[in-house]
Chain A
């Protein structure tokens, strides 16, 4: 088999046993990495109804087929388990350098079961693995842990994936970092690692990707060509120049900058948190992921010191800034650093604090509940103390560490109305009332609200744009307005979701391939052919994506999820309070009709949202249909 070692490392933390298995090519072609391998193993090796923070949970870390290849943006790996935040299929991707390093170490995926008696870390080098004690690393911050592991193993090029104090304390939205600057943020995967007493996974590999490829000359030529094309593309140049924090101003102008817990779509002090301020007062360097020409990562100085934990992304600026009514970019950068030191998901952390602020303003909680903190919107003084209290589960922080859904249940009254979450996971910083596909993605996503289910609507609104043209070979026929849920738009949603899912399978970032249009779909197919020798076409590619989505859905159905869980927070069906979209609400009946149509397109029962046996068998998932019938 070309393009992969096909090797899976199994780790039983209870017994300490390590074992390597090899995948067959026919299997790998159906499940070529990432989200697909995660879905397969979670469904096949874990019974339903296990407690996410118990030894019974299975943690899967998997590279994509193209991860580590010389194709720009192919750097991602997935971490997956039953989520302690949603209690459904859990998944979070990260980019950076760790995934490529694992590939060079000759391992495609790691399956971690059980629980270690004492804290341990996993050390993988060139196909060999061992568990090592990590008691001396527990309770310490990532920069120290990484330096200690590298010193202990005598190689500063070792890449370290790790959890922080929030993961050790089982905060339900604890994150994982690699190289200190890249994050598997969502779904609480850090808490799953913490529950297993697994502090870190250190990796070093010396293989070269080219040596694994079917046609290495063609792959290298393609890689060089794509790198050049990415550099020339104006939208890519903008990501290189400003990165995601550059989004703030345009979203505000469009009335879709989530502000004060999604009550508003525009922030009156946006000028204090926009890119020009970021660049002038915080920025120290621009950085990249492995061999990626987009180079969208920022580095900043906090309190005059360069932060080793990277600069805040747009999501973080939005979550700690406008969504909490806070306009101090220095404070936001500090909150980002503190969250990344403790390893909390910055989206869920900011969104849960915004939820608490709104409960406070409505008198549902008082200073007696909040340890005296004055949680009014805009009061920046509470931000850093709250992050610390959440990560250490201290006082009021212990309640917020449960996430907004569970906190709302405990607070009672109307608090649930202020919890901006789907399936227990907080909304990312994107306002669905101005882009309806994003709302549909929040609702239907297997992992709870997330912004990476389909490309955002404005990208495909103009038929003459580069983005629209690049999406045509995926099967996108007509440009559609952002505030529409038409039948044709749902047909596009169905295609775009399969494509995004496929990207999560093979390890591609969304900031490159179509519809972003820096990289054309045909070039991705050519890359897979050069890597594997497979004669793959667009139909097979979209089927791979759809197969992965369906496994995640079957997992959730087994856990009791159904159409009743594919919903949006009630607030989104109410009008926005300000901005250019003031008065706009998500149309409820159209939304429900569109959801029904989408289920039908997906071959799912329109009443229950459960996949039908017929569709599962078309996707070579007859075994998953059997599992559904057993439950």
Chain B
């Protein structure tokens, strides 16, 4: 799967990369993938799976999916 780490989530990867490839053999809960990567699911506000948005990381992901994660964003 292709995973996009929006905003500061990139800080949880080596070299602060925004796009990473994650190999998953079977469909897997996104929450579990994040847990393995060390990304705090509690800080995820927006999950976009193949252009469909949701507010929960409790979604099942397969290897062909593109997933984008964003933290909450406020005023500026």
Contact = CB atoms under 8 A, between A and B. Distances in A.
A373 interface: no
Number of chain B interface residues as a range: 20 to 34
Interface stretch (B21-29, B58-66, B68-76): B68-76
Nearest to B9: A234
Given A234-B11, A237-B11, A467 B72 contact: yes
B75 A456 contact: yes
A235 B45 contact: no
Nearest to B75: A451
B73 A254 contact: yes
B71 to A, nearest CB: 7
A222 interface: no
Contact of A314 (B41, B44, B55, B76): B76
Nearest to B41: A464
A315 B76 contact: yes
Interface residues of A, number: 36
B71 A250 contact: yes
A575 interface: no
Contact of A253 (B8, B41, B68, B76): B68
B46 interface: yes
Contacts of B55: 461, 481
A235 B43 CA distance: 10
B53 A456 contact: no
Contact of B72 (A253, A461, A510): A461
B53 A253 contact: yes
A247 B45 contact: no
Contacts of A465: 42-43, 72
Contact of B70 (A254, A451, A455): A254
B3 interface: no
Interface string A213-257: 000000000000000000000110110011010110111011100
A621 interface: no
A428 B72 contact: no
A458 B74 contact: yes
Given A250-B7, A466-B43, A235 B71 contact: yes
B22 to A, nearest CB: 19
Given A244-B76, A255-B53, A462-B42, 4 more contacts: A247-B76, A253-B53, A253-B70, A580-B53
Interface of A: 234-235, 237-238, 241-242, 244, 246-247, 249-251, 253-255, 313-315, 428, 430, 451-452, 455-456, 458-459, 461-462, 464-467, 481, 510, 516, 580
Interface of B: 6-8, 11-12, 41-46, 48, 51-53, 55, 68, 70-76
